[in-house]
Amino acid sequence: MTTFLARHADVLVTMDDHRREIRDGGLFIRDGFIEKVGQTAELPGIADEILDLSDHILLPGLINTHHHFYQTLTRAVPAAQNANLFNWLKTLYPIWGRMTPEDIRVSTQTALAELALSGCTAASDHLYIFPNGCRLDDEILAARETGVRIHASRGSMSLGESKGGLPPDYVVEDEKSILKDSQRLIESYHDPNPGAFTQIVLAPCSPFSVTPDLMRQSAALAREYGVHLHTHLAETQDEEAFCVEKFGHRPVAFMELLDWVGPDVWFAHSVYVSSQEIELYRQTGCGVAHCPTSNMRLASGIAPLVEMLTAGVKVGLGVDGSASNDGSHMLGEARQAMLLARLKAALGGASRSAENAPPILTARQALEIATRGSAAVLGRDDLGSLEPGKCADFFAVNLNQLDFAGALHDPVAALLFCAPVQANYTVVGGKFVVKDGQFVTLDIPRLVNQHNAASKRLLNP
Ligand SMILES: [Zn+2]
């Protein structure tokens, strides 16, 4: 049994059902789970490990619901800098087609280190291209060395160019092997228990890169094992046109037809969804990974975030990318969500002073999406808030720094209104991943060298 006490935080943001914010707050942790939350005076005075958080704000760990770790190898590629989604993909597919298992390892660790340094304690990743012997195992094993929780999505592409899909034929797989490998991964790695560090998700890439049959069979397999389903949906107008032309349905209706709706399904993006489609999400319990930076970066559009939240849809936050962001900063992403929702409100045309002005997203709501919202989307009732019984996943930021000067009357809002900073401490399951501002589980300078060498090799074959 090991105990951990974090105490004297200037403010502790619980994100519990009452959204309590506790001054001089702290947590008492036993074996990776929270036993007590409250003011420091109410907590035990001794523990195996004690962390003094005077001058710090303490929050639940941020949870990333959509990412492609391997794309950290192809950030800011010149030919893909100014392209729309389909052309961006066509530029990058051949480069990704050169990846090796070692590239998957290096990129997974790079992305997770970046995420953890921005307050992230759990991340979902969507790996859908497996060239040269790459396997999802490469990512899972690399993630385990970092100490960050992952939901590893077994992505797939089976609809090559010759069959009317977008990806070139040499990066697609045959559907039998995709399903066989999906089953193997679930049986080998999926942990359904509270406190799980690894969960498996089935995630055919998008309507324009897999067949309807693979979507249906993946859904049946996922439900047989009780794992979640994930895909890209309603990201761009091009995708909508593709679905209407090829399948005779808009993307959401197409998913309904394929049995791809339910509380075990979440979609990345959902930029082009109507109010009826939002209502279908609510009724069926589908979740959304909102990825504001990627949607801006690729000029895809602005998702109706506030409309989805108002309707009662589960929404989490995703950095997406990393070739369409091109960073993995979760606090920065929450800030983007807040700002972009405000821009959308303005573009709606209603005056801010009008009585019927649409509500705008607050800093606290944006943080809620990145914590409670993301946990709900991933189906994790053991994550997302700081309460007794939940996983001891949190991060703390030093408020006594230049970036927050003049904003300390509301440190919670300052985290998003001021420029995004890095976490001083990130703790997952009661263990440090970031300590004193440093990532502790890996040698970062060595990792950056390996990562840059891999990236150079991929771009200059
Ligand atoms: Zn994506």
232 alpha carbon to ligand 1 midpoint, in Å? 6
25 alpha carbon to ligand 1 midpoint, in Å? 37
451 alpha carbon to ligand 1 midpoint, in Å? 21
Give the burial class of 250: count Cβ atoms within 10 A of its Cβ; 0-12 exposed, 13-18 middle, 19 or more buried. buried
Q: What is the mean pLDDT of residues 42-57?
A: 98
452 three-class SS = helix
Q: Where are the alpha helices (DSSP H) in 362-410?
A: 363-368, 374-378
CA 47 – CA 4 distance, rounded (Å): 5
Report CA torsion sign: 117, 118, 122, 124. Answer: negative
415 alpha carbon to ligand 1 midpoint, in Å? 26
The pLDDT of residue 377: 98
pLDDT digits (tens, 9 = 90+) for 351-398: 777 777 767 899 999 999 999 999 999 999 999 999 999 999 999 999
Looking at residue 358, the DSSP 8-state letter turns out to be: P
347 alpha carbon to ligand 1 midpoint, in Å? 25
pLDDT digits (tens, 9 = 90+) for 13-26: 999 999 999 999 99
391 alpha carbon to ligand 1 midpoint, in Å? 27
287-290 vs 314-317, strand pairing mode:
parallel
43 alpha carbon to ligand 1 midpoint, in Å? 42
209 alpha carbon to ligand 1 midpoint, in Å? 13
113 alpha carbon to ligand 1 midpoint, in Å? 19
CA 329 – CA 400 distance, rounded (Å): 21
Whether 277 has a pLDDT exceeding 90, the answer reads yes
Q: What is the mean pLDDT of residues 126-136?
A: 97
Q: Can you give the pTM of this predicted structure?
A: 0.97
**Residues 382-404 as b or e (16 or more Cβ within 10 Å = b):** bbbbbbeebbbbbbbbbbeeeeb
The pLDDT of residue 116: 98
Whether 350 has a pLDDT exceeding 70, the answer reads no
Side chain identity, residue 376: A
Range with the poorest average pLDDT among 3-17, 28-42, 260-274, 340-354: 340-354
CA atoms lying within 13 Å on the CB side of residue 81: 4
Is the pLDDT higher at 11 or at 461? 11
Side chain identity, residue 210: V
For 188-237, give the DSSP string: HH---STT-SEEEEEEE--TTTS-HHHHHHHHHHHHHHT-EEEEEES--H
pLDDT digits (tens, 9 = 90+) for 82-95: 988 889 999 999 99
390 alpha carbon to ligand 1 midpoint, in Å? 29
320 alpha carbon to ligand 1 midpoint, in Å? 5
CA 101 – CA 105 distance, rounded (Å): 6
| H/E stretch holding 275 | helix 275-284
pLDDT digits (tens, 9 = 90+) for 236-256: 999 999 999 999 999 999 999
pLDDT digits (tens, 9 = 90+) for 194-206: 999 999 999 999 8
Q: Please name which of 222, 303, 207 lies closest in space to residue 257, comparing C-alpha atoms.
A: 207
255 three-class SS = helix
190 alpha carbon to ligand 1 midpoint, in Å? 22
CA 235 to chain CA centroid, Å, is: 16
Q: What is the mean pLDDT of residues 418-423?
A: 98
Calculate the average pLDDT of the chain.
Answer: 96
For 334-351, give the DSSP string: HHHHHHHHHHHHHHT---
